[in-house]
Structure 1
């Protein structure tokens, strides 16, 4: 029997979105599905996909709107969808979903899905832009067989803001490779590599240094804990790095805060931390808190998006209000005073991730959804192939 052909469409991606897509593609059953990813070349996602031997389709897709290039992307996708006989188009992120679904409509692709990874209503947007975006999404949703959200919070946002019917939305939680984060490491050597003093606990965050990640609130909380002998770690890079480094100087934290930039050995770094912090102002379901729990670390994170769905309050970590450095500092101070509680929360977190947030669980739920949608349309691999042959001959005639 022929394999079902899937085309994933995504904008330039790094961080959690990149890791989510790579894991989904890597672990999708190759005996049943033939997978290709359409994404821009010369970005971390494209480079990693090609290094893994995953089929790619280069497209000039930008993160922001660009009518000329977006039109070119749609044309490329339509041509590929027709020629390849693709059965399922699975778009990721709002920009990938815009061009991907338009192409799928034109190409009459049988099954269309869209995964929402984060809030699509940014607070800094003017109201007219939010309203326009909601209208476009509501229109395209009519041509989408299923919308996947990575948290129940995102599902509720789509229901309330876009008036998407609940039955059209499925929540599938992000998943991680738990085993990657359980290995023992030489913590002193990692501290030395990152120029962290040997003494004192390490409280760290891993994030793109952009406004939505709220790292400034992490630094402000650190300034409220000066009497503690704590080392603070900021892993990642981004447009705010220079201003955040300047803020450290203004707060008098030069000897306490270390910026590492982007790092590949995230599992080793997490293993060396005592507490992981995610101070975001908006999120979907961040992989970093799942990875921290898998590494056996208690988590303090903000009450945004799907974060409260991942953290069991008081058992695997603590959840605080966003943009509130005082509340964050109080939570951290309480944890630092109870070493046994830190260890207990870390162990609870490991168990929680294994039960609910593995890659296999995420992939199984996604592929079950593919199969269900194909069955709803009375399609099989052979049936789809036959229909597409008919469509192509009709076009040629």
Structure 2
């Protein structure tokens, strides 16, 4: 007799082009249909989601993350999922935990929660131990910090590392060819903690030695205007392109030679994996969540966060020693293929879902 497919409700919140949502989409896209029936609750699902699971499996509520209005939405959401209760709820980010855990209680359904960073220690984040079956972190460092902060049982918190698909060899672009100007790029939400102002200051330093180099920032966010203003002040606007409103970064990786991750704090770092999978030499801030991805000097280069001089020096070295840059890109791609495949991430999540549903009863806590 065939095993019944798991009826799984993903709570995504508002879709944005950032690592945690790309991770969610990767899992949804790769979960086998015969094993999992997927439904999604989202404020603004991307078009590609309907292509995968069908529009009837998506509940759209634009007010999910709007204070006050989200409380009204919660009543309709409860009614929707009481009619056809899922086996398990997967809350894809801590910002949706309050709504997701409340729904779990009201329809008496277990849930899992994904943590891409550490919740603030302000008492506002509280796990419902009656219905929470697992908390998934994206790295060992986040798991350990979270356990130290909360004192929760170790068996409740698991690590499922990010994973990405590997582009075909024939789809890769040559790195630092001699017949065109080098392009140095970065990608992600345009926010202060992404360190993009330091990227621009490093760009100014690079242009003093390599005036033909071009720079690319791909992404949208509240810092776009201030970044354009800073580029004007630094007199580098003619060498800089900012590309907002993208649905993914695959084409960006085909346009650049060196990838920079100038972030100031920990996070999921999925964008770093994608750049390395595309064979790009990477230079990244040495922050939590990166050291287990980048072997400094082998699969990439690490620099002190916010250190503009060190960042520009490392980029200068790669521009001068192009063979070394290409070798770093090749080894980085091999490292991702061996350790960070999307298929492995999805298999780990499916195993957790199946383990949880072997005993689908609330705990006595």
Q: Give the TM-score of the pair, scaled to structure 1.
A: 0.82
Pick closer, same or farther for the CA change 1:59–1:265 going to 2, 3 Å: closer
Corresponding residue for residue 228 of structure 1: 210
Instruction: Provide the rounded CA distance (Å) in 2 between the counterparts of 1:164 and 1:321.
Output: 32
Provide Cα deviations, 1:182-201, integer angstroms capped at 9, x if missing partner.
6145999xx9xxxxxx7431
Q: Please point out which of 5, 8, 11 is paired with 1:9.
A: 11
Among 29, 32, 38, the residue aligned to 1:29: 32
Per the alignment, residue 199 of structure 2 pairs with 218
Distance in 2 (CA, whole Å) between partners of 1:262 and 1:221 is: 25
Q: Does residue 143 of structure 2 align to residue 160 of structure 1?
A: no
3-state SS in 2 of match to 1:145: strand
**Residues 115, 152 of structure 1: alpha-carbon distance in 2 compared, 3 angstrom cutoff:** same
Instruction: Report the counterpart of residue 115 of structure 1 in structure 2.
Output: 114
Q: CA deviation at 1:275?
A: 0.9
Give the paired residue count. 355
**Aligned with 2:167: secondary structure?**
helix
Judged with a 3 Å threshold, the aligned counterparts in structure 2 of structure 1 residues 154 and 141 are, in CA distance, closer, same or farther, namely farther
Say yes or no: does 1:253 pair with 2:236. Answer: yes
SS of the aligned residue for 1:167 comes to: helix
Structure 1: gaps spanning 5 or more residues:
122-129, 192-197, 388-397
* 1:1-397 correspondence runs (5 A): 1-15=3-17, 16-40=19-43, 43=44, 45-54=45-54, 55-63=57-65, 66=67, 68-109=68-109, 111-121=110-120, 130-133=121-124, 136-137=125-126, 139-141=127-129, 143-179=131-167, 183-184=171-172, 199-225=180-206, 226-229=208-211, 230-263=213-246, 266-375=249-358, 377=359, 379=360
* Distance change (3 Å), C-alpha of 1:180 and 1:70: farther
* CA pair 334-186 structure 1, distance change in 2 beyond 3 A: closer
Structure with greater helix share of residues = 1
Q: Please say which of residues 48-57 and 337-346 is displaced more in the overlay.
A: 48-57
Query: Structure 1 263/79 Cα, relative in aligned 2: closer, same or farther at 3 Å?
Result: closer
In structure 1, distance between residues paired with 2:47 and 2:335: 32
Q: Distance in 2 between matches of 1:18 and 1:292?
A: 16
Indicate conservation of the 8 Å contact 1:207/1:237, yes or no: yes
Partners of 1:29 and 1:264 lie apart in 2 by: 24
Q: Is the 8 A contact 1:46 1:56 kept in 2?
A: no
Quick check: 2:90–2:111 contact (8 Å CA) kept in 1? yes
Segments of 5+ residues of structure 2 without an aligned counterpart are none
CA distance in 1, matches of 2:316, 2:122: 42
Question: Cα deviations across residues 131-190 of structure 1 (Å, max 9, x unaligned)?
Answer: 123xx32x43553110001112221221122333322111111111212686145999xx
Q: TM-score, normalised by structure 2?
A: 0.89
Using the TM superposition, give the Cα deviation of residue 265 of structure 1 relative to its aligned residue in structure 2, in angstroms: 6.9
Runs of 4+ in structure 1 deviating by more than 6 angstroms, as ranges, are none
Deviation of the 1:303 alpha carbon: 2.1
* CA distance, structure 1, for counterparts of residue 91 and residue 318 of structure 2: 41
SS of 1:363's partner is helix
Over residues 250-282 of structure 1, what are the superposed CA-to-partner deviations in whole Å (9 max), with x where a residue is unaligned?
112122222222345733331332210011122
- The answer (yes or no) to whether the contact 2:175–2:257 under 8 Å persists in 1 is no
Shift of 1:284: 2.0
Indicate the larger mover: 178-187 or 272-281: 178-187
What secondary structure is seen at the aligned counterpart in 1 of 2:315? helix
SS at match of 2:132: coil
Question: In structure 1, how many angstroms separate the alpha carbons of the residues matched to 2:173 and 2:202?
Answer: 28
